[in-house]
Amino acid sequence: MIRVLVAYASERGGTAEIADWAGAALRQAGVDADVRPAGEVTSLDGYDAAVVGGALYAGRWHREARRFVRHHADALAHRPVWLFSSGPLDRTTEERDIAPAPGVAKFARRINAKGHATFGGRLTPDARGFLASKIAKRMSGDYRDRDHVTEWATGIADDLRKAAV
């Protein structure tokens, strides 16, 4: 069976849940998926492919996602890899594809990623942190769309299964 690692970096749990949704969709589509925090992964041995996701903060991927790609760049470059970002606190991701942040696009090129998706984010009204609480006063809400994530991950499973034939 094809084995996929879904590695994520999340500060407030929103991106972690997106990774769980992606993992569930991959399994539903017939591939084996492990969903793990990027900081806890020491090796990609045994995985045929990877999905790497990070929350967006100040126009950049979460630190752990950046570290993960830097640290495992060679292993990632030798496997099919898809990236995702979660951030926008509005409905734009439902209206059109949002290009990756420049730093994420650079990582995508470096490891020759097969694709990237931007999913909406979530910020709760009671978010802690100096900046987060300020932002939450203006734009809290949950803009994540599980169906969008499921559709994207199901497409990945289809691509992997076709490539394995």
Ligand X SMILES: Cc1cc2nc3c(=O)[nH]c(=O)nc-3n(C[C@H](O)[C@H](O)[C@H](O)COP(=O)(O)O)c2cc1C
Which residues are at the interface with ligand X (CB under 6 A)?
10-16, 55-59, 86-89, 121-123, 131-132, 135
Whichever of 11 and 20 has its CB closer to ligand X, that residue is 11
In the complex, least distance from residue 84 CB atom to ligand X, rounded to whole angstroms: 11
Single-letter amino acid code for the residue at 61 = W
**Taking a C-beta distance cutoff of 8 angstroms, is the pair 43, 79 a contact?**
no
In the complex, least distance from residue 158 CB atom to ligand X, rounded to whole angstroms: 26
Whichever of 31 and 107 has its CB closer to ligand X, that residue is 107
Whichever of 11 and 48 has its CB closer to ligand X, that residue is 11
In the complex, least distance from residue 99 CB atom to ligand X, rounded to whole angstroms: 11
In the complex, least distance from residue 14 CB atom to ligand X, rounded to whole angstroms: 3
- Which among 60, 63, 73, 67 has a CA at the least distance from the CA of 101? 60
Whichever of 80 and 121 has its CB closer to ligand X, that residue is 121
38: number of CA atoms within 13 Å, CB side?
28
Q: Are strands 141-142 and 122-123 parallel, antiparallel or unpaired?
A: antiparallel
Q: Judging by beta carbons within 10 Å of its beta carbon (0-12, 13-18, 19+), is residue 125 exposed, middle or buried?
A: exposed
